[in-house]
Amino acid sequence: MTGRNTLPEVFAQHQQVMSGAVVFKGTRVPVQTFFDHLDHGGTLAEFLDWYDGVTREQLEAAEEIRLGTHT
């Protein structure tokens, strides 16, 4: 990330995709869906099985941001 308002390359945001929600790049899967999944005790492996096109790299980047460990 180069600035506060810049998304990491593994994410995308466009007003015409999922009403502007931040999604995993190359998918229509909102990052918030992953956060909700974790909040309800879900695992990375489950999410990867359930959502085609989402990669482990993308999930790990989202986790870093969620935990505030992204540099």
- Domain assignments of the chain as residue spans, ordered by start: 11-66
Beta bridge partners of 23: 12, 30
Of the candidates 59, 56, 55, the residue with the CA atom closest to the CA atom of residue 26: 55
Predicted TM-score (pTM) of this structure: 0.80
The mean per-residue pLDDT over the stretch 39-68 comes to 93
Q: What is the DSSP string of the chain?
A: --STTPPPTTEE--TTSGGG--EETTS--BHHHHHHHHHTT--HHHHHHHSTT--HHHHHHHHHHHHT---
Higher pLDDT, 1 or 22: 22
State the CATH architecture for 11-66: Orthogonal Bundle (1.10)
Per-residue pLDDT for 69 more than 70?
no
Q: Phi and psi dihedrals of 11, rounded to 5? A: -115, 160
Q: What is the pLDDT of residue 15?
A: 87
